[in-house]
Amino acid sequence: MMNQIKVLASSLLVWAGTTCAQQADAEHADSKHDRPPRLAAPATSPAAEKTWHITTGLLIETENVEGQSDNKGFWEPTLYLEAARGNWSIYGSFYQENHNGAHYYGTQGRSDWFNQYEINLRYLIASHAVYDLGLMAGVRHYQWQYKQQDGITRYQTQRYTVQPDWEIRLGDQSRFSGWLALYQYINHVRQNALTDKELEGETGFGYQVNDLLSFKLNYYIDRGWNSGSDRLAEFSQQELRLYMPLTLALWHTPLTVTPYLRHSLDTDYYNVEQQRNDGETDTRIGLLLEQTLPQGIALSLEYAYELQRHHGTADDAGSNGKYHYTGVGLSYAF
């Protein structure tokens, strides 16, 4: 039955062809990187085409494996700016994964593990009554920083992105939408335990029950591979994702409450030391709150709990992991 589900889910991506580059620590789920910037389709009315719509904000995320306290925790702030006018939108951000507050990484010789700078440009190619089609191109610059005996060493890597996105309206209540990204990594790829290429996408069907409730069931894929025979950092991940947004009118501005569920269909990573693929099954439940406030201000709160089952581990006692994610966001639109 599971194989049938995989085949059905995989077929959703036939027309088109949000965990990101693999890091040195398997515990790190890198949840932020499995979702791309939310570049909304620009308004297409004549008046809107002459007006800039700008949103700027701060997102602070934390990640931790249960039982490790702050020893292996991550502190991840993101500053971003998004501007849209007519059919064009541009997104820029600075993200840092900070380990300075974690005792474990200090003893292992790491400082701020990496900084990330990103800029994306999206164009709404077509917009009709029944569908929208967009195309995004972007570049992300990674800066890794390692403490070594002879001082601090930095490695720079660039990621180039081409990403189409689409929405097909199947009626007043149903939608088929998604995105598919192809990444190319260059410079210090091996030093930073990355793959040469990566394919990532998410697509699925949404249904609006009423003004209060909607559902969305998506298929997610992320696969990294190398051009040659070197299999360092290669990985493959497939998930089913269920979202259930609730729009509540508790105050003058709406509150959106989104419970969600993610479950692995097939996930494996290449183990260089053992020369084999190690599998993993993850089940995540989460809750996202998004509250719009007066004067263009918006607030978001998110928490997720994930049970991780690692396959192919020699010590079965250490093959399970419990992972926690939190996110707090504040934005201003004008």
Please, how many CA atoms are within 13 Å of residue 84, restricted to the half-sphere of its CB?
19
Q: What is the pLDDT of residues 147-203, one digit of tens each?
A: 777 777 889 999 999 999 999 999 999 999 999 999 999 999 988 888 999 999 999
Query: What class, spelled out in words, does domain 71-313+321-333 have in CATH?
Result: mainly beta
- Cβ contacts of 278 within 8 Å, gap of 6 or more: 268, 269, 270, 271, 310, 311, 312, 313
Q: What angle do CA 284, 110, 281 make, to 5 degrees?
A: 20
Give 33 or 235, the one with higher predicted confidence.
235
- Determine the pLDDT at residue 279: 87
Q: CA distances (Å), 43 to each of 15, 135, 167, in order?
A: 25, 15, 15
Say whether 317 sits in a helix, a strand or coil.
Answer: helix
Tokens of 55: 């949103």
Q: What are phi and psi of 48, to 5 degrees?
A: -70, -30
The pLDDT confidence band at residue 327, using thresholds 50, 70 and 90, is very high
Q: Percent of the chain beyond pLDDT 90?
A: 57
Query: Is pLDDT at 284 greater than 60 in this prediction?
Result: yes
pLDDT, mean over the chain: 82
Q: What is the mean pLDDT of residues 311-325?
A: 70
Q: Where are the domains of the chain?
A: 71-313+321-333
Q: Find the range with the poorest average confidence among 64-68, 311-315, 326-330.
A: 311-315
pTM of the model: 0.82
Which residue stretches of the chain are H helix?
Answer: 2-11, 46-49, 103-107
Looking at residue 43, the DSSP 8-state letter turns out to be P
Query: Is pLDDT at 36 greater than 50 in this prediction?
Result: no
Query: Is pLDDT at 92 greater than 70 in this prediction?
Result: yes
Q: What is the pLDDT of residues 97-119, one digit of tens each?
A: 876 544 444 444 445 578 999 99
Q: What is the pLDDT of residues 240-264, one digit of tens each?
A: 999 999 999 877 888 999 999 999 9
- Cβ contacts of 210 within 8 Å, gap of 6 or more: none
Question: Based on C-alpha coordinates, what's the Rg of the chain?
Answer: 20
Look up tokens 């989104």; give the residue. 258
- Determine the pLDDT at residue 111: 52
Q: What is the pLDDT of residues 42-68, one digit of tens each?
A: 444 445 578 999 999 999 999 887 765
- Determine the pLDDT at residue 39: 44
Q: What is the mean pLDDT of residues 24-35?
A: 38
Q: What are phi and psi of 147, to 5 degrees?
A: -90, 125
Query: Is pLDDT at 269 greater than 90 in this prediction?
Result: no
Query: Is pLDDT at 221 greater than 90 in this prediction?
Result: yes
Burial readout 194-203 (b: 16 or more C-beta within 10 A, e: otherwise):
bbbebbbbbb
- Determine the pLDDT at residue 100: 53
The pLDDT confidence band at residue 205, using thresholds 50, 70 and 90, is very high
Tokens of 136: 């995004």
From first CA to last CA, the distance across the chain in angstroms is 49
Look up tokens 């020369």; give the residue. 275
